[in-house]
Homo-oligomer: A and B are copies of this chain.
Amino acid sequence: MDPKSKKEEKAGLVADARESLQLRAGQHIELHSYRDATNVNYQRMCLDSEESAGVPPKELRSAARSLINALELRSVYMSRIGTHFPTTTRNFVDGKYPDELRKQKMKSKKTSDTMYPREVSVEHWGAPLQQTYEQQFQLRRANGIVEVTQKDGDGWRIAPALEEFYLSRDQFYADYTMVNDLLADGPLKTFCFKRLSLLNSRFSTHVLLNEELENEEQRNISHRDFYNVRKVDNHIHAASSMNHKHLLRFMKKKIRTDANVVVMKDKSGKEVTLSELFGQINVRPYDLSVDMLDVNADKDTFQRFDRFNSKYNPIGRNELREIFIKTDNYMGGKYFAELMLEVFSDLEESKYQQMEPRLSIYGRATDEWHKLANWAVKNNVRSPNARWLIQVPRLFDIYCTKGILANFDEFLNNLFMPLFEVTNNPNSDPQLHEFLLQVSGFDSVDDESKTESEDLTKDSPKPADYTSKKNPSYAYYMYYMYANLAVLNAFRRLRGLNAFALRPHCGEAGAVSHLSIGFLTSESIAHGIKLVNAPALHYLYYLAQIGIAMSPMSNNNLFLTYERNPMPVYLKQGLNVSLSTDDPLQFHLTKEPLMEEYSIARQLWKLTFCDMCELAKNSILQSGFEDDLKMRWLGPGFKEEGVLGNDIACSNVPDVRVSFRHETLVNELINLYKAKMLPK
């Protein structure tokens, strides 16, 4: 049977089903489900008036209002920081939908991009600096946020163009509290839980009915398959981006070639060569094995983040970590640069794999940025297949205890002031300027499961007064990151420069309130496995299509075994999830860690190539690669809604799947906006 007649037959089946519905009920039943105008043919599941989801009207209305408020709030937050909010949901929030839904176009490949361009194309790297700008600003610190000021009469005030991007901590606290309240709202939880269950069974039904159709669409697309769709490893730490065998090989090579190179100074200030160091450790290069290296996570790391962290020390030696996988050491991070270039070279060879490795900025000193940029630019550590993210470990308490920092304001100053300065005047640090063009976002990292002494409150100390040796809460850290980045991004746009997405680790462990923070502040998050404990947020992450870069193999070694990982459930429900490796050094065995991650997921959760390509597509959308690249990888119309935005010849995701996802999302939102209008 040729594909066309099969599709027609399918369409026929749908028509039959409808008729039989009418016959059985003895009257016409209005099918409430939205069907998009592009008319992809497949068998749809229609429910007769499903809006109530078995919830009393009053509770329904209240739940809908709460959810819509939250979506509106996120929309504001995302506008402020200048990151993506999905068009479909935005159109509902902005009041265009559901009324204008029927006006949706037929499928035609045309872009209609209205987003802020966050990025500057990769071609600009290394371009000569712009001359000094006409418009001059002065920078000052106020309560942990950098203020960009302009001359106004005799004094300086916040530049009018940037004013709207400032967010007070009190406002943030109010919004945070509002979202947190949703976590405790019983009827809302019930409603969201039911909707999520329905999403689940909708997907199961869809697959039962249309799997063959999806497979066929994939088979009929020439050339494209899972291997040659782009896949981005959205969450990977640079220092652990090579697998343990790779690190071992590299170390052995260095001991051979660089035996007499001075690699560090010991505590007494004496220079130590590589061979002397290994002499101290009492290991000959030939002897080295991955067992000795002992960086791969084992049974003992489960629920032991502390042990996991110490796995970063090869042979349990901090010196080796320092020498081989740090950017700032006696050798100026030479070895780490070489290692990264090897990782990048493997990546470029694989052609269809990209990554977003994290480099650390600790906020301990003002010159960290300069040194890091210097490392990257001097060693030319970059790749067309990679974009940097900056990870900021939440380790203020340690620096404070050690006397390195006096208060939290210093931490923030070290973190953000250099960025504002170089944005104000790129010539002040040309290397940092250039490096930042290759940075697409910020990550916030640490063990979330550590108990937090005190959450953010109205009375939390101001940064300059935060001198406690207790670590600030996740919320406290994240407010200051978000608030500074919102202004910084606006400032950089003003300067014609790229802006940064906030993409923290969130919901890996610890309190679910972290996920409230993520919901307000973050373009996407890493992990999110704790969402299952907060149905309201879980549903909101779905509605707002917040990216979740999941790393089940990492979870399996640290916080959650494979069989309990919610990844397959999220995928079924239609959350915007992707697969990433987190730490190949600690977890993966093969030379293709990302493929290994996909392979295990495929085996365990019986993912089809359609599912796998959907994950890969999500990973591109979540990533910080430039729009011109995304166009090349997903088709020029990739920002359009639903099937309009899908080009199966690029993504290998069937239109049937995309249409199903889009219609399902639209239906959820229609239900919500209808329910909001229910009489009190």
A residues with a Cβ closer than 8 A to B are: 211, 215, 218-219, 221-228, 245, 248, 283-284, 286-292, 294, 296, 298-299, 302, 553, 556-557, 562-563, 587-592, 595-596, 598-600, 602-604, 606, 608-609, 652
Contact = CB atoms under 8 A, between A and B. Distances in A.
A603 B223 contact: no
B606 A299 contact: yes
Number of copies: 2
Contact of A596 (B215, B218, B226, B590): B590
B595 A286 contact: no
Contact of A600 (B248, B294, B603): B603
Contacts of A228: 289
Contacts of A563: 563
A539 B188 CA distance: 55
Given A590-B590, A590-B595, A603 B562 contact: yes
B608 A298 contact: yes
Contacts of A286: 222-223
Given A219-B292, A589-B595, A590-B590, 18 more contacts: A218-B291, A221-B289, A221-B291, A222-B283, A223-B287, A224-B291, A225-B248, A225-B290, A225-B291, A298-B606, A298-B608, A299-B606, A302-B606, A562-B604, A589-B599, A590-B596, A600-B603, A600-B604
24 contacts: A219-B289, A219-B291, A221-B291, A222-B286, A223-B288, A225-B289, A226-B291, A226-B589, A227-B245, A289-B652, A296-B609, A298-B609, A299-B608, A302-B606, A557-B603, A563-B563, A589-B595, A589-B598, A589-B599, A590-B595, A590-B596, A592-B592, A596-B599, A600-B600
Contact of A609 (B215, B291, B553): B291
Contacts of A604: 562, 600, 604
A606 B300 CA distance: 10
Nearest to A249: B227
Contact of A603 (B211, B287, B553): B553
Contacts of A595: 589-590
A352 to B, nearest CB: 11
A228 B245 CA distance: 10
Nearest to A292: B219
**Most chain B beta-carbon contacts within 10 A, residue among A284, A606, A608:** A606
Contacts of A589: 226, 595, 598-599, 602
Contacts of A592: 590-592
Contacts of A587: 603
A207 to B, nearest CB: 9
A399 B225 CA distance: 38
Contacts of A588: 599
Nearest to A594: B590
A254 B227 CA distance: 20
A599 B244 CA distance: 13
A559 to B, nearest CB: 14
A292 B292 CA distance: 45
A478 to B, nearest CB: 31
Contacts of A590: 590-592, 595-596, 599
A211 B299 CA distance: 10
Contacts of A211: 299
A599 B226 CA distance: 21
A283 B302 CA distance: 50
A282 to B, nearest CB: 11
Given A298-B608, A590-B590, A595-B590, A224 B600 contact: no
Given A590-B596, A596-B596, A598-B589, A226 B609 contact: no
Contacts of A598: 589
B223 A289 contact: yes
